[in-house]
Every structure is written in C-alpha cells, then in structure tokens.
Structure 1
Amino acid sequence: MVYAANFFHPGNWLRDWFEANRATATERRARRSAYVQTLHALQSMPDSDLADIGISRLSIKDVAHEAAYGGARP
C-alpha cells in the first residue's frame, strides 16, 4: 500500500493574509487621518471664511468625508 503525503504549508497563505490586512489597515488609518485633519481645519475656520468658499457649518462633516473617502457620507 502506498501513501501520498500532501505537505501543505499554511505559512505562505497566512503571511499573505496578514500583509493584505496590514495594507488595508494602513489605508484606513490614512483616510481617517485625512478626514480628521480636514474636519478640524474646517471647524476652526470662522463663518466668514467658510461662506467665502461656499461651505456651511452644517455641511462640514460631509465635505471632510468627501475629501477623505471620495464619496457622500452614508
């Protein structure tokens, strides 16, 4: 009787999974950082400057989200 051994090494797939998750986490952190920076910059501006660029106080979060994530807020 002959036995065939299937040597499966999960290390490579596991490493690929960790690297993909690390890349995703890095991208999420960068986008969140851009959102927070834009949000704080807009919130610190006076109403007259916001009016000059056509942004109301109520739409600051929407503008920051669009700048960081490229779309409307859900």
Structure 2
Amino acid sequence: MISSVEVSVKDLGKRKLDLISTYVEPEVKKELERWANEEERSVSWIMAKLAEKALKQKENGLNPLKDN
C-alpha cells in the first residue's frame, strides 16, 4: 500500500520542486533501492520518473493503475 503523507517545496537552482512523501511496504522499498543502485540514481529520482510516465499514460487515455 502506498499513501501520501507530506508535501513541501524545495528550491533547487532555478526549479522549484514539490516533495511528496509516501509509505510503502518494506519489500517495495528494498526493490526500489536495488533498482536505484543499478541505475546509479536515487529512489526519489526513480519515483519521479515513474510518476511522470504514469501521468503521460493517463494523458493518452490509459489508466496506469489498471492493466492495459
């Protein structure tokens, strides 16, 4: 289960980014950390890219929360 618990704003250079915190099962966290290490990225970066991809799918009429 994933749920949002906190949102704030951080100024990174010229871009302002919102922070979204979530709760995930420990197994999900471990897999995300493994994936982030493989990509030499942070878990935050992986999650941001997944969110962006899901929103693009939604804009194209797909529901990323359902099997398409």
Larger Cα-atom Rg: 1
More helix by share: 1
Same fold (TM over 0.5): no
TM-score normalized with structure 2 length: 0.28
More strand by share: 2
- More RCO (CA 8 Å, sep 6+): 1
TM-score normalized with structure 1 length: 0.26
